[in-house]
Amino acid sequence: MLPMYLKNHSQGEYVFDYSWADAFERAGGRYYPKLQCSVPFTPATGRRILTRPDTEDPDLEKYLLSGMMQVAEKMDVSSVHVTFADKTQWELMGEMGFLQRTHNQFHWQNNDYANFDEFLAGLSSKKRKNIRRERRDAVAADIKIECLTGADITEDHWDAFYRFYIDTGSRKWGTPYLTRQFFSIIGETMPDDVLLIMCRRDHLYIAGAINFIGGECLFGRNWGSVEHHPFLHFEVCYYQAIQFAIERGLKRVEAGAQGQHKLARGYMPTHTYSAHWIANQSFRDAVDGYLTNERRYVDEEIDYIAEQGPFRRED
């Protein structure tokens, strides 16, 4: 299976192609509609060609990719975009003629840590002290943190978290797109795959973050608060996520797009991947040249940022 969405815009994708659309339409082309293969509104890496993991068959995946291109041609769309793809499938898409694009996210990697203190031991002394101070100051106002999964998450928790979610959306550009019903649905259908981190002060919930538990990864998604407390965002979204991943034996934490401030908290620059099929050959050639230079820049950027990382350097 290879699910796709027909889109008349490029919103909610986190892989920006607005400049491509503008250039193509100024040249007289029609960029929209296009086909998108992704998890909607979610910059999370994963397999996009949905064959059974225990019976991976490159020939079957190639067959599905060929079908994707045939569907695009039949629908007369300008392009197909597969975003935040698994690297192995991204490489296969490159072999099939898709244009390859790379990006940079900050991920935390679990090096088989026994506990949070063992993770801290690998950091430079200054970074280790800063994190301990941030964790202490985050809850200094008698804030209690609850990590909830499964049946421990109630509708009262969802009511409180939805208020945080709406508050965040109202203070940033864009419009909150998840409904209150969405949270009840995931609470009913996939409760054991949800980690809800909630903060209480004076018996009232004041902040929270939602995460989704994958087979190997914890995916951090939305955060919100109705009170400001220094470092509480870092504690709830980054440090609690690391602690949970260590306890569950998860290999990594993906805390969403952007945010070089994550580097000092142990989240290192990591490649993410997208692949693009473009129908018009001239436009395709132009984008291909652009992506060649962009991939080189992303490699250099990741190398440079990694050198500034918080981990101790061996002699």
Residues of the chain with pLDDT under 50: 315
Residues of 42-70 as b/e, b for ≥16 C-beta within 10 angstroms? bbbbbebbebeeeeeeeeebeeebeebbe
Question: Residue 293: is it exposed, middle or buried by C-beta count within 10 angstroms (0-12/13-18/19+)?
Answer: exposed
User: Model pTM?
Assistant: 0.92
Selected from 1.20.120, 3.30.70, 1.10.1070, 3.40.630, the CATH number assigned to the domain covering 5-105+269-307 reads: 3.40.630
Residue 310 C-alpha from the chain's centroid = 22
Q: What is the pLDDT of residues 211-221, one digit of tens each?
A: 999 999 999 99
Where are the alpha helices (H) located in 172-225, listed in sequence order?
Answer: 180-189
The rounded distance, in Å, linking the Cα atoms of 278 and 35 is: 10
Q: What is the pLDDT of residues 150-175, one digit of tens each?
A: 999 999 999 999 999 998 776 665 67
CATH topology of domain 111-250: Aminopeptidase (3.40.630)
Equal fold, 5-105+269-307 vs 111-250: yes
Domain ranges for the chain: 5-105+269-307, 111-250
Size of the chain in residues: 315
Cα separation values, 258 from 6, 38, 153, 163, 279, Å? 26, 18, 29, 24, 30
